[in-house]
């Protein structure tokens, strides 16, 4: 019998390149949020009407719950037949494992028992070096310090969403039950950003989804961004959308991949973080409904924890989770999902 999951995210309608959203002067409070504790509060909606329920939970409490739960994809306990051969450990593939969010997901998964973890990377030899050492890296406009990862329990496989065929990607995913897609183009040559964003965040991601279906993957978690669907809910002039989409129209490319995943028939969770921070979380996790957040920031550490939880929490099945940190709040004890 698998251990029950104590993980809980919001059961809502619901980037590596998350939207860069500077905190604007606030004329109104964010959408209403309900703390997963003994107290709750509500604020005015920023979109001129009530929004789906939001849930706040501290990163510390969230981390404790994930550690206690040990992922419900862990192996069943051994039965009376001691002589029977134990089944193979379930496999999770992390695509974009050397990226800032992907490597954090990899770090969490690699610490879990009874789990086979595959790091999907463009260049295996280069990735072995990158993952095995702490370093300071520059990604786009951000300078970040990244820790090394213990690769003892991680298998590295080539997974290049731009160069590999669908068949090649499917071969790399063979035997996996779950996939976390944390790929995203890195802004570089301004003359080629549109091409790069289209190739990675749109076409390449869709190709990886096709490969997942062909390989028999059951669950896909896609790291995207808030405001990907801004044009469809009247937020195309939002500062967060304008600034982020200036980099290769990346949000317009991401929504294509999101919709492709939603129509794939696969069990999915789309995680839409706000502006990404390299430092540890300093506020509570706030999980909001689809197309509700247009500003806010969140630690990549917390994004990774949400991705890992989404792999097994049934409440996250076929949902879009928009997440930011609620700054300036005290941690609250996580007591499960309050509906």
pLDDT (average), residues 110-116: 90
Please determine, for residue 157, whether its predicted confidence score (pLDDT) is greater than 80.
Answer: yes
* CA terminus-to-terminus distance, the chain: 26
pLDDT of residue 36: 30
Name the residue with higher pLDDT: 148 or 98: 98
As given in the structure block, the two tokens for residue 114 are 């009874």
Please determine, for residue 16, whether its predicted confidence score (pLDDT) is greater than 70.
Answer: no
pLDDT of residue 282: 86
Per residue in 239-288, pLDDT (tens digit) is 999 999 999 999 999 999 999 999 999 999 999 999 999 888 888 889 99
CA distance 310 to 316: 6
pLDDT of residue 94: 98
Q: Helix, strand, coil shares of the chain as percentages rounded to 5?
A: 30, 20, 50
DSSP 41: B
Per residue in 172-192, pLDDT (tens digit) is 999 999 999 999 999 888 899
Please determine, for residue 80, whether its predicted confidence score (pLDDT) is greater than 60.
Answer: no
Name 127's bridge partners: none
pLDDT of residue 147: 57
Please determine, for residue 18, whether its predicted confidence score (pLDDT) is greater than 90.
Answer: no
244 φ, ψ (degrees, to nearest 5): -70, -45
CA distance 67 to 9: 15
Nearest to 216 by CA among 162, 180, 183, 179: 179
Beta strands in the chain (DSSP E): 34-35, 55-58, 91-95, 116-121, 135-139, 142-146, 154-158, 178-181, 219-223, 267-273, 275-277, 284-288, 297-299, 319-326
Given pLDDT bands bounded at 50, 70 and 90, which one contains residue 128? confident
Burial of 134 (0-12, 13-18, 19+ CB in 10 A): exposed
pLDDT of residue 87: 65
pLDDT of residue 309: 92
pLDDT of residue 72: 40
As given in the structure block, the two tokens for residue 84 are 């029977």
Cα–Cα–Cα angle for 261, 201, 305, rounded to 5 degrees: 70
pLDDT of residue 78: 40
* Residue 246 neighbours by CB distance under 10 Å: 14
Q: Which of the listed ranges 40-44, 209-213, 280-284 does the model predict with the highest average pLDDT?
A: 209-213
Q: How far is CA 148 from CA 80, 100, 127, 136, 141, in A?
A: 40, 12, 11, 11, 22
Please determine, for residue 319, whether its predicted confidence score (pLDDT) is greater than 90.
Answer: yes
Name the residue with higher pLDDT: 107 or 11: 107
Average pLDDT score over the chain: 76
pLDDT (average), residues 225-229: 97
Given pLDDT bands bounded at 50, 70 and 90, which one contains residue 130? confident
CA distance 225 to 229: 9
CA distance 171 to 193: 29
User: Contact at 8 Å (CB) between 314 and 293?
Assistant: no
């Amino acid at each position: 019998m698998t251990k029950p999951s104590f993980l809980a995210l919001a059961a809502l309608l619901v980037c590596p390149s998350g939207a860069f959203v500077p905190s604007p002067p606030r004329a109104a409070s964010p959408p209403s949020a309900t703390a997963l504790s003994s107290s709750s509060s509500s604020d005015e909606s920023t979109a001129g009407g009530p929004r789906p329920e939001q849930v706040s939970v501290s990163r510390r409490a969230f981390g404790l719950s994930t550690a206690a739960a040990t992922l419900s994809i862990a192996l069943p306990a051994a039965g009376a037949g001691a002589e029977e051969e134990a089944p193979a450990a379930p496999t999770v593939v992390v695509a974009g494992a050397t990226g800032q969010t992907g490597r954090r997901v990899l770090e969490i998964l690699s610490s879990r028992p009874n789990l086979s973890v595959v790091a999907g990377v463009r260049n295996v030899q280069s990735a072995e070096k990158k993952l095995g050492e702490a370093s300071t890296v520059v990604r786009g406009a951000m300078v970040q310090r990244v820790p090394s990862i213990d690769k003892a329990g991680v298998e590295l496989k080539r997974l290049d969403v731009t160069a590999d065929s669908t068949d090649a990607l499917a071969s790399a995913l063979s035997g996996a039950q779950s996939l976390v897609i944390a790929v995203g183009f890195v802004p570089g040559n301004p003359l080629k950003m549109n091409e790069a964003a289209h190739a990675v965040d749109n076409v390449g991601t869709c190709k990886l989804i096709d490969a997942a279906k062909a390989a028999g993957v059951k669950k896909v978690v896609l790291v995207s961004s808030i405001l990907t669907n801004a044009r469809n809910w009247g937020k195309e002039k939002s500062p967060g959308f304008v600034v982020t989409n200036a980099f290769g129209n990346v949000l317009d490319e991401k929504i294509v991949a999101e919709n492709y995943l939603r129509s794939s028939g696969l069990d999915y969770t789309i995680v839409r973080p706000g502006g990404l921070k390299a430092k540890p979380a300093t506020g509570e996790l706030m999980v909001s409904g689809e197309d509700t957040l247009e500003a806010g920031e969140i630690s990549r550490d917390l994004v990774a924890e949400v991705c890992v939880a989404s792999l097994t929490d049934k409440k996250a099945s076929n949902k879009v989770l928009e997440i930011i940190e609620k700054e300036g709040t005290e941690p609250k004890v996580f007591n499960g999902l309050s509906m």
